[in-house]
Amino acid sequence: MQQVRQAGPRTVAVWTGVALVGAIGWAMLALSRGEEVSAAWMVAAALGSYAIGYRFYARFITTRVLRADKTRATPAERMADGLDYHPTDRRVLLGHHFAGISGAGPLVGPVLAAQMGYLPGTIWIIVGVIFAGAVQDMVVLFFSTRRDGKSLGQIAREEIGLVGGIAAVVAIFVIMIIILAVLALVVVNALAESPWGTWSVGLTIPIALFMGVYLRYLRPGRVAEVTVIGVALLLLAIASGRWIANSGLADAFTLAPGTLVTWLIIYGFAASVAPVWLLLVPRDYLSTFMKIGTIVLLALALVLTLPTLKMEDVTDFASRGDGPVFAGSLFPFVFITIACGALSGFHSLISSGTTPKMIQKETQVRTIGYGAMLMESSVAMMAITAACILDPGVYFAMNAPPAVIGDTVQAASDTITSWGFTLTPDQLTSAAHAVQESSLLSRTGGAPTLALGLSTILTDFVGGDTMAAYWYHFAIMFEALFILTAIDAGTRVGRFILQDALAGLHPRLDRLRSTSWVPGVLLTSGIVVALWGYLLWVGVHDPLGGINTLYPVFGISNQLLGAIALAVCTVLLVKSGRLRYAWVTFVPLVWVSVVTLTASWQKVFSGDPAVGFLAQRDKYQDGIDSGQLIGAAKDMDDMHTIVTNATVDAAVSALLALLVLVVFADALRVCVKAVRHPETARLSEAPYVASRLIAPAGLIPTRQEREELAAAGLGPGGGIPEQSRGAERVEARE
């Protein structure tokens, strides 16, 4: 375990200052009533809280609760095969993990939740990540690392039991497919008919392949060197996208949604079967620089330009539940809409998928698991801030559907003004003209709103109004790249889940579990891609818009998966004799379960057609029976499609809730038995093997770690001393 050193006066003073910054930020956000509030206070509240949470709470969990052991070999060291198990420099792995967990949630969810005001979403994003989301990611990563990098479903089956385990595996796999389909749908919506975005995002693939070969064969271990090259090529890809968009090649890269679906399916399959070092890790690492760079630039711009928050702290829609962006009251729907920024079940699949197969030391789970989630939460904070600095009238004009505000700027202006917001047709026309868009009306889904908010902030910081269109389209491309990196890692994790599930059906199928058996890898990857590809195709051609149909199911299923992950972690803490620390995962488990099961019930059984799937189905079925077209339906085929989709949504939501309740019941049984009869508790941990690998726990090595690395003749990336010296001798001979 790590030794906990006594803090000196200087350290106490520094952390007291950090705490004060965070406290002042919270006070300004919460206590201001009726006056303008600077967006910089949101940055202060977030960064101060993140720093305190990482320094103290995450360290407490790592050392006291998990008891991470740096002398224990991880599966990456013990089972290295060059395909899935590969000891990876913690700096590179942090980039991969962050890119893998970062999907649509931290970008889209906070923007949509801004209709409730800036305060509810901000509280959930910050408090939720510190005590729930980051805890889940880190604890799952630790327990999976102790179990040869097994998937969450496999861990549940081994540690909870047959019934609960099977329910968990089925729920996890179904949820995984839904999540991947929604992530891919956001990418399609962002890149459709956009040659700039398609070119720039597509070019990151050959750049990543080059980086993988460079690190593997040309210059092994030269992380800083390949980083400089990769970032330079990435910047060139971004700049050249504008050239392509204004050239004769624009038509070749202007792709329809259906064409993009095909390319995404091909990419997802290739990323799932290729060695992690070749495409997955370098591409995610490369993407991370763009993500972090953009977020840092945005945070700096917020602090220096000090824009004010124009959205109210809490809007009337929070209590009435009739918001034009999404229907439903503040509880539970803010907590469902804001998924990945505070707590995301999808992350548990990455933490029990690719990352535990590559982590060098157990002590790195704090940096990679907890730290990466804080980074994602900061993205969510930037997203909600960008939405809330926009004029509320423009915000609602972009996010409300035509059925609510009409399809002309005059109709939209009249409707939104009747809600109590000031909006003129000229405002909408000028905003669209500034970013070189024909219209900003009903640009739903969150991505265009975030892009406009980013553009507004960054034009005040760099370039002025002449750069507004550039920053807007840059942000659209940034969002697509941000989300796409979660698809490649998620598809591979889906393959792991399916391999484990099929292998457990019969002893003869055990070979499917092997990551080196090529036929099994190709078969399971193909099944996973085909399933989410089908849902993606349905979403692209949905009459109500794929986001409107799939995002509510995404939010509910994502949080239900988080509840499963926290339940499994609680069981493992109890079975391992750490009952007094089980509250660390049990408290967030109770909260997310209450929130999500309440949302599931309302989405299935609410009598409001804007909320309940069954009520929506009945409404459109009545229209079919009376021969009337309703809402966005253009013909009777659309009406039938909406009825079918609403029925499927209701059935899937109900099924997932029932499966989760089965998992909870079986988990409770196991916990009670372990408390009453601790001698019967059996853990499926891999046997202890002493580690030969030396590597720092954090991004910056401590003095003790630097001395240890120097004594072993290793660089800051660490490694196995014997292998390092052998590589140096080979390089010297060459």
Using one digit for the tens of pLDDT, what is the confidence trace for 389-433? Answer: 999 999 999 888 777 888 889 999 999 999 888 889 999 899 888
Residue where the block lists tokens 């009435």: 320
Q: In the structure, what pLDDT confidence band is assigned to residue 730 with cuts at 50, 70 and 90?
A: very low
Average pLDDT, stretch 355-373? 95
Say whether pLDDT at 323 is over 90: no
Contact 69, 362 (CB under 8 A): yes
Q: In the structure, what pLDDT confidence band is assigned to residue 2 with cuts at 50, 70 and 90?
A: very low
Average pLDDT, stretch 683-693? 93
The model's pTM: 0.86
User: H-type helices in 627-719, by residue range?
Assistant: 636-676, 703-711
Contact 479, 107 (CB under 8 A): yes
CA distance 311 to 120: 12
Q: What was the pLDDT predicted at 1? A: 47
pLDDT tens, position by position, 422-480: 889 999 899 888 887 778 888 776 778 888 898 888 888 887 777 888 788 777 767 77
Q: What distances in angstroms separate CA 325 from CA 292, 430, 610, one per listed residue?
A: 28, 22, 11
Higher pLDDT, 26 or 485: 26
CA distance 43 to 26: 10
CA distance 414 to 688: 69
Residue whose C-alpha is closest to residue 267's, from 491, 580, 100: 491
Q: What is the domain partition of the chain in residue ranges?
A: 72-80+103-188+323-503+541-680, 694-727
Q: What was the pLDDT predicted at 664? A: 95
Average pLDDT, stretch 601-607? 93
Q: What was the pLDDT predicted at 146? A: 96
pLDDT tens, position by position, 645-677: 889 889 989 999 999 999 999 999 999 999 999
Which DSSP helix (H) or strand (E) runs through 557?
helix 546-575
Range with the poorest average pLDDT among 17-21, 234-238, 456-460, 544-548: 544-548
429 SS3 class: helix
CA distance 358 to 327: 42
Beta bridge partners of residue 225, listed in sequence order: none
pLDDT tens, position by position, 544-570: 666 666 777 888 888 999 999 999 999
Which pair of structure tokens corresponds to residue 559? 């949080």
CA distance 181 to 534: 8
- Percent of the chain predicted with pLDDT > 70: 93
Q: What was the pLDDT predicted at 203? A: 85
Q: At what angle do helices 546-575 and 583-605 cross, to 10 degrees?
A: 150
Phi, psi (5° rounding) for residue 729?
A: -65, -40
pLDDT tens, position by position, 711-729: 888 888 888 887 655 554 4
Residue where the block lists tokens 């959205």: 311
Range with the poorest average pLDDT among 282-296, 330-344, 690-704: 282-296
Q: Provide the CA 538 distance to its chain's centre, in angstroms.
A: 23
Q: What was the pLDDT predicted at 250? A: 85
Q: In the structure, what pLDDT confidence band is assigned to residue 635 with cuts at 50, 70 and 90?
A: confident
Q: What was the pLDDT predicted at 734? A: 42
pLDDT tens, position by position, 41-95: 998 999 999 999 999 999 999 999 999 999 999 999 999 887 778 899 998 899 8
Q: In the structure, what pLDDT confidence band is assigned to residue 731 with cuts at 50, 70 and 90?
A: very low
CA distance 224 to 230: 10
Which pair of structure tokens corresponds to residue 573? 């803490």
Mean pLDDT, the chain, integer? 86
pLDDT tens, position by position, 145-191: 999 998 888 899 899 988 888 888 888 888 888 888 887 887 787 77
